[in-house]
Structure 1
Amino acid sequence: MKNKILFSFIVLAGMAISSAMAQVLPSKQETLKTLTLVNGYFMKKYADYTLPSKTDRVRPSNIWTRGVYYEGLMELYKIFPKEEYYQYAYGWSDFHKWGMRNGTTTRNADDQCCGQTYIDLYNICPTSPAMLKDIKACMDMLVNTPQVDDWTWIDAIQMGMPVLAKLGKLTGNTAYFDKMWDMYAYSRNTHGGGLFNLKDGLWWRDADFVAPYKEPNGEDCYWSRGNGWVYAALVRVVNEIPKNEKHRADYIKDFITMSKALKACQRSDGFWNVSLHDPSNFGGKETSGTALFVYGMAWGINNGILNKAEYLPIALKAWDAMVKEAVHENGFLGYVQGTGKEPKDGQPVTYTNIPDFEDYGIGCFLLAGTEIYKLK
């Protein structure tokens, strides 16, 4: 009798938990409304995608910051295929002749980021080999030269690694997969003694921040958005590679390790600080890193990699916080840290401050929202 009562209690509790979880999911309609609002703000303000980015100096609009925006736009297009979105991405790519700043011989991943969108557009409608010519030539150069030490800062992992993954999937050539592992492994295990600290489950941004470098509170310096770039890269790579790819399990293992570490340092309001282990060092809400963590966690839930009961409350709390506290009525996105490489850079981070580049923060937000939209 006791066993029957216990079993009934467990079943009812499980049903209650499942019901509660289903109820807290934001409606797809509201999520899409938020995404189109934020994206609409950007497309209206930056309607002319041919204009260069002007901050401390002039840069072409196919640099990494805009490349990240288009990553988000392409994911939005997949759930809401509005022709205007496709044309905005296609026109930008075509204006740049499907090329990269510094040409096909660049080894700088920041230059290569735009290739993610070029490949996505080719996959939607392969109208011309010219769409892939330059980005494929650049990635072939990486594959056919011995260097593996290009990604000396962890942002680069997100900018360049998914390009190799996408080309490997498109062409069926596993040499792209092999090269991206070799480059990832060098950054992870070798550069600066290894940028991934397995003990803490987080990444140092580059060799300058490897211990004994410390934050003011004595902790290691783990920059939020930098870790977000790696987290997003793992998502975007695993999305592309086949189930039997020889390092797939390694990527997923790192993703799970990072997820546990990120869960432990979420702020009580749902955001993450710019400094993950030192909330006193330029502490406060920050949207770009938070969005990348939501992107990864929601994707992990959607793909059965992360436990839904454990991670859904974290992802939803963060998404709800961004929607309610960062999104303005006109779609402007607040609390986005400007460019840099550590907590003190790109300040101030406030509700109303406009960062030096608006594009990548919105791209990160679109990535997060599209995965939230897919939750069931």
Structure 2
Amino acid sequence: MYSSATSLALLACSSIALAASDNTTLPYSTWMATSFLSKSQTMNSHYVASVLHEGIEKAATLHQNTSLLNYVSNAVSAQVLPNGTLLNWNSSFYSVDELRIGNNLLHFYLASNRTETKYAVAASALRSQLDRWPRTPTGGFFHRDPVYRNQMWLDGIYMADTFYATYTHIFEPANTTAWNDIALQFDLVEQHTRNKTSNLLAHGYDESKKAVWADPVTGACPHVWDRAVGWYFMALVEVLQVYPKNLPGYARLRGYLTTLADGVEKAQDESGGWWLVMDEPYPGMKGNYIEASATAMFTYGILKGIRTGLLEERRRPTALKAYDLMLDRFVTREKNGTLSFDGTVVVGSLSSNGSYEYYVNVPIARNDGKGAGPFMFASTELELWQQS
């Protein structure tokens, strides 16, 4: 049987599906959100669903779309029992991907004026797990234990540290130890994966240097995978929204963002998008292609960075060119009035040999939440700017 929250979510979804087929004059953020929910996507506590939920929430909040907001509120609520237990959560399973739902929990806790305590309880359990998390010898969170011991991936910084920072901001703003620990996670990936010529970062590193792909000096993998850099770019922008400006870590993170923004702008293809494998000499090489999810992530990061004063206004044309490219190449208008989002690579994993051939042979998906969610993020930022 469905819970009452799940039933409400399904009811909302059915009404949203009708709206998606009837209304093609919506802003792209809500149009993509209503379209996506009409395509029978599975919603759970996995990080892809969590990113999608945040995209829907951003669109619904900006445009005061009650149907969408009710849907996402009920969908997140359905993942948490009244006593604050997160459905299907294993407190002894250490995978940073599983922390991403923490951001959704914190959003709806604040949206309830801190009255929905079940969200706080669930978020606190996730935060407590971080205190037990297996770490590299220098203090970095394992990407996953035991499969990726001593490895840090750029993806994981977004999954774990945006939650870690937001939780600290809400519940422990004076916890300098936590703030320093958050900055340390960024420091470590910068130390091991940053290319100081391109200003881009490799997908991840192995501090033990045992992985087949690990550089014998830095431990870094050999390639710059676009979505990993996209996750990391968004993580810097999001963490800097809440990181205390008076602490030394703030200036370092701000510097990492500015440097990365320079690298991202330099790497933009003349089409407006970004290549799947970004390091030279691979852009334009046979098998490589302009990929959708990272293009959305970079667009969002630049636009939000500008809006919140982290990045300079001069960078806006880069984001606008990228957004136009997404509308031309990746957003498809279906005959039934809905939108589809194309061009998202299914996965990129350092469980592989880390080769160029591995990355370019991963399948591409239609309506993958890892692309559609960030497209909603980017669309809300563009629409905010248009409104102002």
TM-score (norm 1): 0.77
Q: Secondary structure at the match of 2:344?
A: coil
What's 1:305 paired with? 310
Secondary structure (helix, strand or coil) at the match of 1:332 reads strand
Secondary structure of the 1:328 match is strand
Whole-angstrom distance in 1 between the partners of 2:244 and 2:189: 23
Kept after mapping to 2: 8 A contact 1:300/1:306: yes
Question: Partners in 2 of 1:112 and 1:100 — Cα distance?
Answer: 13
The letter for the 1-side match of 2:339 is G
Shift of 1:265: 1.1
Q: CA deviation at 1:142?
A: 1.9
Q: Is the 8 A contact 1:287 1:322 kept in 2?
A: yes
Q: For the Cα contact (< 8 Å) 2:102–2:126, is it kept in 1?
A: no
Cα separation, 2, equivalents of 1:112 and 1:95:
17
- Structure 1, residues 250-280: CA drift from partner, whole Å, max 9, x if none? 1111011111111111111111110112121
Cα distance in 2, alignment partners of residues 305 and 31 from structure 1: 32
Q: From 47, 67, 75, give the equivalent of 1:84.
A: 67
- In the other structure, the counterpart of 1:335 is 343
Separation of aligned partners in 2, 1:224 and 1:74 = 25
Q: What is the letter of the counterpart of residue 95 of structure 2?
A: N
**What does residue 111 of structure 2 align with?**
124
Does the 8 A contact of 2:183 with 2:253 survive in 1? no
Partner of 1:169: 169
Specify whether residues 199 and 337 from structure 1 end up closer, same or farther in structure 2 by C-alpha distance, changes over 3 A only: same
Q: Secondary structure at the residue paired with 1:239?
A: helix
Contact 2:292 2:371 survives alignment (8 Å): yes
Query: For 1:182-197, what aligned pairs fall within 5 Å after superposition?
Result: 182-189=184-191, 194-197=192-195
Q: Distance in 1 between matches of 2:68 and 2:53?
A: 10
Displacement of 1:281 after TM fit? 5.3
Structure 1 unaligned residues grouped into runs of 5+: 1-29, 50-60, 214-218
- Matching residue of 2:102: 115
SS at match of 2:235: helix
Equivalent residues of 1:38, 1:331 under 8 A apart: yes
Alignment of 1:4-83 (within 5 A): 33-46=27-40, 49=43, 61-83=44-66
C-alpha separation between the residues in 1 aligned to 2:132 and 2:347? 32
- In the aligned structure 2, how far is the partner of 1:154 from the partner of 1:31? 37
Q: Tell me, yes or no, if structure 1 residue 370 matches structure 2 residue 380.
A: yes
Separation of aligned partners in 1, 2:25 and 2:201: 31
Name the CA distance, whole Å, in 2 between partners of 1:31 and 1:283: 35
Note if contact 1:302-1:374 (Cα within 8 Å) is conserved in structure 2: no
Q: In 1, Cα distance between the equivalents of 2:54 and 2:362?
A: 25
Aligned to 2:12: none
1:145/1:312 Cα in 2 relative to 1: closer, same or farther (>3 Å)?
closer
What is the identity percentage for the equivalent residue pairs of Structure 1 and Structure 2?
A: 21
Q: What code does the residue aligned with 1:320 have?
A: D
State the secondary structure of the residue aligned to 1:242: coil
CA distance 1:182–1:31, change in 2 (3 Å): farther
Q: Which deviations, in whole Å up to 9, do the C-alpha atoms of 1:200-243 show, x marking residues without a partner?
A: 31111122555479xxxxx9511100100100001111112233
Counterpart amino acid of residue 200 in structure 2: L
Distance of aligned partners of 1:44 and 1:146 in 2 relative to their CA distance in 1, 3 Å threshold: closer
Structure (1 or 2) with the greater strand fraction: 2
